[in-house]
């Protein structure tokens, strides 16, 4: 793999140092760099977008207000992700009622990643079909496996970063990824077999 | 050299070249993988699985536009506690510099290149707070089709007795949404990050960039959507709830020359073939011979049923000799603006022509230092 993630990490650390010195444009830059990823991550477990945007804004304001007492995180991106995760969890439990009335996910206030591929916009028919199937299979995975897969392949976080975000050990991250793929492979087969059986029945 | 033959699905998912092909449609990466697949047909199944898996995870691309993000960042910085603070507003000189650059370039390019993107300068001019969003409504009370221009440069041809409404800052919203009561043809500018929705009484039509017709009168039980180019997704409004929980559920995908009819009492879709849409929405033809630009605008206004606002004294003296055929209204406006050294943008469905400076036509070449 290239060392691009390393470059990004150094850039983030540099910006963090500048913001500690009171440079608010550095805070703005960090926000510009990571806002979209944070928003996408948050959307995985919060449907109320305005509430989510407020959470992200508060997150950055809090960093600014506490800049002199916070130590520079090893990995700013992982720090932002885990802070947002904790923050949403806290906020949701602070106002359980208002949250439940507004959220579609009311029955499940935990972190809950759901994949929603826009397969119907894919021009190639067979690929669109496959993508739809994969989206379905991904959503059958247990919650934690799904989140690990999302953080690794969508957000492109490293094993160590994922461990920090989800507060588990790097080894557990590897295990979860492995389990997810074992699951996916088994299910891919099952889907193919059931389709095959169906066709055989149909043709006979 | 990487040995892709040994790659597992997991390996493909993290490979930069593979991701470039699948996620960004990078043409170099695409060429590479197409060749590789031809040379390694036994790996095709694995590659296709990995490709579908990556697409399934990629889901919709980020829905926040750059101006929206800027605004959020500015708003956050504005809330910080501090003693002294320099204002963080977008510097005016930058806007002016961009406009000047656009005008100079345009003047230099002249007639031939008529697809020059003026979008940058337009954005700079029309940047306003999206919180000042108001709804705009266009009704066609005439007996001829009427053209409605949207801020994102999409075009709508509204049939008599139809009505269309949309947010005044549609071009900056994360989802472009319009509401239709009646019969209209849409030519939507492609923007993968910001899908375009047509809401009507019974149906919701969703596209990225294509042209299609929607007939959906609020008073009628039946509605239909037909497609001229591109790909369109249609679903019944009552399925919207289901969509929120499982996107992709209960919708129908239409390809060119396909039509779907929905009848509310049966709550059912019927798909069929359709021809002749292209003829129905053929762009009008204009011929001008040393015609004053003001007269050209009048002709466009009449033909398309639109309002064009300009300051006649600023474009006095410009003459146009041209034939417009097979051109969209946006292309025509682009071309005229190039001649009068101006720009245009859409405000609440009206075309606003901006010329850089008040100058007699003879001196127009000296307009190197625009001051607004």
According to DSSP, the β-strands at B146-149 and B319-324 are unpaired
pLDDT value at residue A199: 53
Reply yes or no on whether the pLDDT at A8 is more than 60.
Answer: yes
**How far is the C-alpha of B70 from the C-alpha of B184, rounded, in Å?**
34
DSSP class of residue B213 equals: E
For residue B11, tell me if it sits in a domain: yes
0.90 surpassed by pTM: no
Structural domains in chain A, CATH included, are 4-102 (1.10.1740), 122-203 (1.10.10.10)
- The shortest CB-CB distance from A117 to any of B59, B70, B82 is to B59
Do B222 and B272 share a domain, yes or no?
yes
For residue B2, tell me if it sits in a domain: no
pLDDT tens track for B21-43: 888 778 888 889 989 998 998 99
The residues near B252 (Cβ < 8 Å, ≥ 6 apart) are B233, B234, B235, B260, B269, B271
DSSP-based three-state secondary structure for B228: strand
Ranking A115-119, B314-318, B336-340 by mean pLDDT, the lowest is A115-119
Do B306 and B200 share a domain, yes or no?
no
Q: How many domains does the structure of chain B reveal?
A: 4
Judge whether B162 and B182 are in contact, CB under 8 Å.
yes
Do B20 and B104 share a domain, yes or no?
no
Do B250 and B115 share a domain, yes or no?
no
Taking all residues of chain B, what is their mean pLDDT, rounded to a whole number?
75
Do B103 and B218 share a domain, yes or no?
no
For residue B1, tell me if it sits in a domain: no
pLDDT value at residue B166: 87
Reply yes or no on whether the pLDDT at A109 is more than 50.
Answer: no
Inter-chain touch B81–A64, beta carbons under 8 Å: yes
Do B144 and B267 share a domain, yes or no?
yes
Task: Domain of residue B39: give its range.
Answer: 7-58
Q: How confident is the model at residue A30 (pLDDT cuts 50, 70, 90)?
A: very high
pLDDT value at residue A154: 85
For residue B87, tell me if it sits in a domain: yes
Do B293 and B270 share a domain, yes or no?
no
Residue of A nearest to B63 (CA): A36
What's the gap between Cα B264 and its chain centre? 30
Q: How confident is the model at residue A169 (pLDDT cuts 50, 70, 90)?
A: very high
Inter-chain touch A117–B231, beta carbons under 8 Å: no
- By the CB < 8 Å criterion, does B24 face chain A? no
Last residue of a domain, one of B280, B313, B337: B280
Residues in A touching B131 (Cβ below 8 Å): none
| ipTM here | 0.75
For residue B227, tell me if it sits in a domain: yes
For residue B371, tell me if it sits in a domain: no
Q: Which residue from B158, B176, B174, B152 is spatially nearest to B166, judged by alpha carbons?
A: B176
> Cα(first)–Cα(last) distance of chain B, in Å?
57
Query: Which has more pLDDT, B159 or B279?
Result: B159
- The shortest CB-CB distance from B76 to any of A31, A36, A181 is to A31
Domain with B144 in it: what CATH number?
A: 2.60.120.1440
Burial of residue B256 (CB within 10 Å: 0-12, 13-18, 19+) is: middle
User: Rounded mean pLDDT of B75-101?
Assistant: 54
- By the CB < 8 Å criterion, does A197 face chain B? no
Reply yes or no on whether the pLDDT at B88 is more than 90.
Answer: no
B16, B44, B52, B260, best to mutate vs chain A, most A CBs in 10 Å: B52
Last residue of a domain, one of B280, B301, B316: B280
Last residue of a domain, one of B247, B280, B313: B280
CB pairs under 8 A between A and B: 120
Taking all residues of chain A, what is their mean pLDDT, rounded to a whole number?
79
What's the gap between Cα B141 and its chain centre? 26
User: Rounded mean pLDDT of B8-13?
Assistant: 90
Query: Which has more pLDDT, B184 or B124?
Result: B184
Reply yes or no on whether the pLDDT at A161 is more than 80.
Answer: yes
Do B335 and B212 share a domain, yes or no?
no
Q: How confident is the model at residue B238 (pLDDT cuts 50, 70, 90)?
A: low
For residue B181, tell me if it sits in a domain: yes
Do B220 and B178 share a domain, yes or no?
yes
Reply yes or no on whether the pLDDT at B125 is more than 70.
Answer: no
- The shortest CB-CB distance from A116 to any of B9, B59, B80 is to B59
DSSP characters over A56-120: HHHHHHHHHHTTTTSPPPS-HHHHHHHHHHHHHHHHHHHSHHHHHHH-TTTT--S--------GG
Domain with B121 in it: what CATH number?
A: 3.55.50.30
User: Rounded mean pLDDT of B318-331?
Assistant: 84
Do B351 and B336 share a domain, yes or no?
yes
Q: How confident is the model at residue A191 (pLDDT cuts 50, 70, 90)?
A: low
Do B139 and B250 share a domain, yes or no?
yes
pLDDT value at residue B218: 80
- Residue position matching structure tokens 């127009």: B364
pLDDT value at residue B63: 64
Inter-chain touch B56–A134, beta carbons under 8 Å: yes
Judge whether B355 and B99 are in contact, CB under 8 Å.
no
Inter-chain touch A28–B80, beta carbons under 8 Å: no
For residue B80, tell me if it sits in a domain: yes
A104-141 burial string, b = 16+ CB within 10 Å, else e?
A: ebeeebebebbbbbbbbbbeeeebbebbbbbbbbbeeb
pLDDT tens track for B280-292: 777 788 888 888 9
Reply yes or no on whether the pLDDT at B19 is more than 80.
Answer: yes
Ranking A71-85, A130-144, B129-143 by mean pLDDT, the lowest is B129-143
- By the CB < 8 Å criterion, does B79 face chain A? yes
Do B173 and B101 share a domain, yes or no?
no
pLDDT value at residue A163: 92
Inter-chain touch B253–A120, beta carbons under 8 Å: yes
Q: How confident is the model at residue B114 (pLDDT cuts 50, 70, 90)?
A: very low
């Amino acid at each position: 793999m290239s060392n691009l993630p390393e470059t990004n990490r150094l850039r983030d650390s540099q910006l963090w140092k500048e913001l500690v010195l009171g440079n608010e444009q550095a805070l703005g830059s960090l926000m510009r760099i990571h806002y979209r990823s944070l928003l996408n991550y948050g959307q995985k477990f919060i449907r109320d977008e305005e509430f989510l945007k407020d959470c992200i804004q508060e997150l950055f304001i809090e960093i600014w207000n506490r800049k002199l007492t916070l130590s520079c995180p090893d990995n700013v991106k992982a720090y932002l992700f885990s802070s947002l995760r904790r923050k949403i969890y806290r906020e949701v439990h602070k106002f359980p009622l208002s949250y439940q009335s507004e959220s579609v996910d009311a029955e499940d206030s935990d972190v809950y990643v759901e994949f929603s591929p826009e397969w119907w916009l894919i021009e190639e028919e067979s690929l669109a079909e496959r993508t739809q199937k994969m989206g379905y299979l991904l959503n059958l995975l247990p919650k934690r496996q799904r989140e690990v897969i999302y953080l690794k392949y969508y957000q492109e976080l490293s094993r160590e970063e994922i461990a920090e975000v989800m507060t588990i050990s790097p080894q557990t991250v590897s295990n979860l990824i492995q389990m997810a793929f074992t699951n996916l492979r088994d299910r891919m087969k099952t889907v193919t077999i059931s389709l095959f059986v169906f066709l055989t029945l149909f043709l006979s | 050299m990487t040995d892709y033959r040994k790659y597992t699905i997991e390996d493909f998912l993290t490979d930069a070249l593979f991701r470039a092909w699948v996620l960004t449609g990078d043409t170099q990466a695409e060429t590479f993988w197409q060749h590789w697949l031809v040379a390694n047909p036994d790996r095709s199944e694995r590659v296709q699985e990995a490709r579908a898996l990556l697409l399934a995870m990629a889901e919709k691309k980020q829905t926040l536009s750059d101006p929206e993000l800027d605004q959020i960042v500015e708003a956050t910085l504005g809330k910080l506690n501090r003693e002294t603070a320099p204002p963080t507003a977008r510097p005016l000189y930058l806007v002016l510099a961009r406009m000047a650059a656009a005008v100079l370039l345009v003047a230099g390019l002249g007639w031939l290149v008529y697809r020059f993107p003026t979008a940058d300068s337009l954005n700079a001019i029309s940047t306003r707070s999206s919180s000042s969003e108001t709804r705009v409504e266009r009704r066609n009370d005439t007996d001829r089709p009427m053209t409605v221009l949207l801020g994102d440069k999409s075009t709508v041809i509204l049939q008599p007795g139809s009505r269309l409404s949309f947010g005044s800052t549609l071009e900056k919203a994360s989802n472009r949404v319009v509401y239709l009561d009646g019969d209209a043809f849409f030519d939507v500018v492609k923007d993968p990050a910001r899908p375009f929705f047509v809401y009507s009484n019974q149906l919701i039509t969703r596209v990225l960039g294509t042209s299609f017709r929607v007939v959906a009168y609020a008073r009628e039980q039946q509605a239909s959507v037909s497609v001229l180019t591109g790909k369109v997704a249609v679903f019944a409004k009552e399925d919207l709830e289901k969509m929120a929980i499982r996107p992709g559920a209960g919708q129908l995908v239409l390809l060119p020359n396909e039509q779907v009819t929905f009848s509310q009492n049966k709550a059912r879709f019927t798909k069929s073939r359709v021809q002749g849409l292209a003829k129905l929405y053929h762009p009008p033809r204009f011929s001008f011979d040393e015609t004053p630009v003001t007269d050209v605008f009048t002709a466009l206004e009449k033909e398309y049923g639109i309002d064009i606002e300009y300051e006649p004294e600023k474009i006095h003296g410009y003459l146009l000799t041209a034939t417009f055929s097979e051109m969209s209204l946006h292309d025509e406006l682009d071309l005229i603006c190039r001649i009068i050294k101006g720009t245009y943008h859409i405000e609440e469905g009206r075309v606003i022509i901006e010329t850089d400076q008040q100058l007699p036509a003879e001196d127009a070449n000296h307009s190197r230092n625009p001051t607004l």
